[in-house]
Amino acid sequence: MKRKIIFFLFSLLFIIETNAQCAMCRAVLESEEGQATAEGINDGIVYLMAIPYILVAGIGYFIYRKYNTLKK
């Protein structure tokens, strides 16, 4: 049963479709004369990119810890 739940969660993560245009926004903002706006947008892109990886790593750690405590 646990394998089915884990499989469902991982398959759900791979099915989700994203429609991002970050590269286009970055290209338009870098062509402007004021670079302060471009730097802010680029920092926001990095922030939005990092959060899902941190969440997945946290879930992976929790699952790893849960399986190791069951073996002991």
Distant-in-sequence, close-in-space partners of 29: CB < 8 Å, separation ≥ 6: 37, 38, 41, 42
Per-residue pLDDT, 60: 93
Of 58 and 15, the structure prediction assigns the larger pLDDT to 58
**Of residues 28 and 64, which shows the higher confidence score?**
64
pLDDT of 61 > 90? The answer is: yes
The lowest-confidence range among 3-7, 14-18, 65-69 is 14-18
- Alpha-carbon distance of 51 to 38, in angstroms, equals 20
Q: What are the pLDDT digits (tens) for 23-46?
A: 677 677 667 676 677 677 777 778
What is the pLDDT at residue 14?
67
Burial 20-40 (b: 16+ CB within 10 A, else e): eeeeeeeeebeeeeeeeebee
